[in-house]
Amino acid sequence: MAASKALIVNALESRYDYYSARNVFKEALRVAGLEEKNEYSSADIAALVQSLAEIGDRVESVLARLQPHAEAASAKKAAKPEKKASAAEEPKKAAASTPADKLKPAPVAKPVEKPKPAKKKAAKKKAAKKKAVKKK
């Protein structure tokens, strides 16, 4: 079951305000690796629901509204388990053929410490001058 961009944004507006709903929608698309378009397939909706669950805060009502549109994709995946099993073997074969240097993680840079500001000397307090009081 396909869903339009308007339907998805409308579901997000049940949780967020007008502008925030659109920003969360764009962020969810980015996380899911999808392009912005007018119609989304069931597989796209399933990926969008997954990314919303990761980045969103208190989005259960939004997910409940989008879940029926994503279930068609999960039903198709359940009907074709053979392809998924063969697809799982392919990355193992590909990983075995890749050079070892590509599999090493990138070095992590240490955070740079800021220099501490120089301590200021305590200012000396000047004694207050008292005015002489004349007695009459």
pLDDT tens per residue across span 50-78: 999 898 888 888 888 888 877 765 555 55
- The whole-number average pLDDT for the span 13-35 is 91
The confidence score (pLDDT) of residue 19 equals 92
Percent of the chain clearing pLDDT 90 (strictly above): 14
- Compute, in degrees rounded to 10, the torsion defined by CA atoms 34, 35, 40, 42: -20
3-state secondary structure the chain: CCEEHHHHHHHHHCCCCHHHHHHHHHHHHHHHCCCCCCEECHHHHHHHHHHHHHHCCCCHHHHHHHHHHHHHHHHHHHHCHHHHHHHHHHHHHHHHHCCHHHHCCCCCCCCCCCCCCCCCCCCCCCCCCCCCCCCC
The confidence score (pLDDT) of residue 18 equals 92
The confidence score (pLDDT) of residue 27 equals 92
- Cα dihedral 95, 98, 100, 104 sign: negative
The confidence score (pLDDT) of residue 66 equals 86
Stated length of the chain: 136
- As a whole number, the mean pLDDT across the chain is 74
Residue 113 vs residue 105, higher pLDDT: 113
* Residue 46, CA distances (Å) to 43, 50, 57, 76, 99 in order: 5, 6, 18, 12, 34
The confidence score (pLDDT) of residue 56 equals 80
pTM of the model: 0.51
Residue 81 vs residue 19, higher pLDDT: 19
